[in-house]
Amino acid sequence: MDIADLATRLRSGNRRALARGITLIESHRPDHRAQATELLERLADPSRQTLRIGLSGTPGVGKSTFIEAFGQTLIAEGHRVAVLAIDPSSARSGGSILGDKTRMERLSRNPAAFIRPSPSQTELGGVARRTREAILLCEAAGYDAVLVETVGVGQSETMVAQMTDLFVLLLAPGGGDELQGVKRGIMEIADLILVNKADGALKPQAEATRADYAGALRLLRRREGDPDDFPKALSVSALDQRGLDEAWEAMLALTTHRRDSGFFVTRRATQNRDWFEEAVLSGILQRLRQDPALRGSMETLGHAVSEGQMAPGAAADRLVERFLA
Amino acid sequence: MDIADLATRLRSGNRRALARGITLIESHRPDHRAQATELLERLADPSRQTLRIGLSGTPGVGKSTFIEAFGQTLIAEGHRVAVLAIDPSSARSGGSILGDKTRMERLSRNPAAFIRPSPSQTELGGVARRTREAILLCEAAGYDAVLVETVGVGQSETMVAQMTDLFVLLLAPGGGDELQGVKRGIMEIADLILVNKADGALKPQAEATRADYAGALRLLRRREGDPDDFPKALSVSALDQRGLDEAWEAMLALTTHRRDSGFFVTRRATQNRDWFEEAVLSGILQRLRQDPALRGSMETLGHAVSEGQMAPGAAADRLVERFLA
């Protein structure tokens, strides 16, 4: 593959080149990995102005409908929008955020939008690296607003927050105590809470839920780099396409504030550094997995462990000592 | 700390000794780690007959109420029950499965039950190792039924399934298409689906949901080691304490079948081997994190990365090559 040519076509906004670039960075083959690195270096441009928006919501909050409507709001404002998905359950099943293009039919047909279904993955660390690289490729192809979405509960939110400039939590009206408990950790990283489905019969409940969360956010500690009225909670209706402009204005206000204060640039620098450190450790680990001496010892001791002759933890401790001695 | 003494007290069923043992295995201190390994070796007994039950359910399905009621069913059958929690969101927030003892008040007061709140963790790999070790400690203290519970979506289910003998998925009546999509990967690992809240007005819907899932399970491929009627779906009411005996009978039937076929023992052996391999790699990784030469290079290159002079992935690739050369 001619990487220089791919880079040129990708930079000109060619969608097939972008899709191909993402396939390249998703590949596990060592030669593809080297090509992916070359591609990323050719496309690097620190002066590029983009906004990376993390979006999370549990199943049923209307995430697809929201992205469909919000994406078109951004396009109407003159932006080009890329949508990437991180799917924590894909490790085994090959993906639950299925058929992203079917989910967001109108948006996917819009020439100013690019939607990439989440790839099936083997480990969460790999997902982070590949999504980060996919963000860079989308930005190089001219998509200046990149939405990284993830499903509900777990570590994937933290991961998304660590690779985006702001983090939006989409909620449905209502939600019991247990639900709110689960959200505690997520609320700490949310810059903006949007209560969706503020339409029809659910409208009053959506407003009440918004007020509840606004109150809860006030109780959280103020965070470094935030303007006075952030984090904030708004209600929206993706269905009626209401409140989307206000949501975008809130994101812009926060972004402008962070750019002016220098927080935006500092945060991206920190994210790059964290990304680098993670990539170093996972790279070393990947190489070790293939190390013949280590594999041999693991084979022998692993047999003893599965036969019940040794405890797994103790056997591992011993092998680590020996290997690093 | 006198580990021999702790092991003796723990083996006699002393709850404080068990709690102390779990605190020891949760510690990051290298001297504690060595003591934890010694403790586990002293307590090892491959002939111990126990059952490890993985349990998952999204927030709102009534997981606490179920465990509270089901735990008492097991105790009434003469078992001693330990409850451990894996909380994927605890990486940042310090835990969302908060106040486990308050959640399961009656069970926690029962002398035949032991409930351990999920510790706050820094990385998912560490959670797996510590939970596996906590299972062993609980079993050594005479708890022959260990429930490992986790919240909803994500990798934590796979992790729980990899350390238990059978995996139970708790669902609520109803659930839209998107919800079912998310569950696809989980359904593949579920041995038993329990539709909770089969009481009051929700009873007919719970039964309909049960029938839906029973149909879906029939469409899944038959799995190695399963009896004819597994995986299966039942409806239960934790609130009215109905269907719990049947659920336990189903778990016993599956366990007996797997013991008779040898699958039970083979699976535990495979789990031990996987555990060992994971522990080796994470042990090496942990040591590398502290390696002064690697830390020095990471410091220098990391600075260049955060200054925008180098791309994170490319810089990482280069460092990995150099370090392993």
Is A48-267 CATH 3.40.47.10? no
Which residues of chain B have a CB within 8 Å of the CB of A289? Answer: 281
Q: What is the pLDDT of residue B120?
A: 56
**ipTM, 2 decimals?**
0.74
Tell me which long-range contacts A130-136 makes (C-beta under 8 A, separation of at least 24).
A130/A25, A130/A26, A131/A84, A131/A86, A131/A163, A132/A163, A132/A275, A132/B312, A132/B313, A133/A25, A133/A36, A133/A40, A133/B313, A134/A22, A134/A25, A134/A26, A134/A84, A135/A52, A135/A82, A135/A84, A135/A163, A136/A40, A136/A43, A136/A44
B257–chain A nearest CA distance, Å: 21
Q: What is the pLDDT of residue A179?
A: 47
A158–chain B nearest CA distance, Å: 8
A1-44 folds as 1.20.5
Residues of chain A with pLDDT below 50 are 90-99, 176-182
Show me where the domains of chain A are located: 1-44, 48-267, 277-324
Kindly report the average pLDDT of chain A as a whole number.
85
CATH class of B48-261: alpha beta
Q: What is the pLDDT of residue A280?
A: 86
Per residue in A148-167, is it b (16+ CB within 10 Å) or e — as a string?
bbbbbbbbbbbbbbbbbbbb
* Interface touch A88/B151, C-beta < 8 Å: no
* Interface touch B182/A96, C-beta < 8 Å: yes
* Interface touch A181/B98, C-beta < 8 Å: yes
pLDDT in tens, chain B (325 residues): 899 999 999 999 999 999 999 999 988 888 998 899 999 999 988 889 999 999 998 777 888 899 999 999 999 999 999 999 886 654 433 334 444 556 788 898 999 999 987 665 555 557 788 899 999 999 999 999 999 998 755 667 888 999 999 999 998 887 544 444 445 567 778 899 999 999 999 999 999 989 888 877 776 656 777 888 888 999 999 999 999 999 999 999 999 999 999 999 999 999 999 889 888 888 887 777 778 888 888 888 998 888 888 888 888 888 888 877 6
Q: Per-residue pLDDT tens for B49-59? A: 999 999 998 77
Return residues 157-186 of B near A (CB < 8 Å): 157-158, 176, 178-179, 181-186
Q: What is the pLDDT of residue A152?
A: 59
* Interface touch A316/B152, C-beta < 8 Å: no
Q: How many CB atoms lie within 10 A of CB B100?
A: 21
